[in-house]
Amino acid sequence: MKIPHLLPSDALLIVDVQLDFCPGGALPVPEGNDVVRVLNAWIAGALAGGAMVLASRDWHPVGHPSFASQGGPWPTHCLQDTLGAAFHKDLHLPHETILVSKGTRFDKDQYSAFDETGLAIALRRKDIRRVWIGGLALDVCVQATALDAVRAGFETHVIHQACRALSPASRKTALGQMQDAGVALEE
């Protein structure tokens, strides 16, 4: 795995590497644990180059509209302050990691870390130009985040090895849509 030299104008955004999205969780992504080793290497590279490290998390209140019990498409997952909402125990997030909580609204879901979180403004204030993204799930929250990063004007890279998808078919579709939108896919 070759990690490019990251700069202070780069941000590494780790998307939703939470226990509920890993094997054994409420909404497991197949092989979701496998992203942790890759992301830890990228975190080390980001820190060495002075890049910003951020981690988004689903942070749902009880009765969130995305839950099947409320008419949504997903089982109950990532409830605020529960073990399932915690980041994977082997993910080495530095203490200065900026957390981006999403999915907190009572009236809609938020798949993207940019969806009404103020993230684009925060990145611009730090003069971030490139965003490197990895996490779970490639075909849901990683895709939504990458597409919004492009729309916000950031040079956007998705770290393919640092992502897992819910299914092979949706993975292929997501990769195509991201490429078509101008997202660079990195090994």
Task: Please give the positions annotated as active site.
Answer: 16, 102, 141
The H or E element containing residue 143 is: helix 143-151
For every residue of 43-105, DSSP letters joined together read: HHHHHHHT-EEEEEEE-BPTT-TTBGGGT-SB-S--BTTSGGGSBPTT----TTPEEEEES--
Q: What is the DSSP letter of 18?
A: B
At 36, list the tokens: 């942790």
Angle (deg, nearest 10), helices 143-151 and 168-181: 10
| CA pair distance 186, 157, nearest whole angstrom | 6
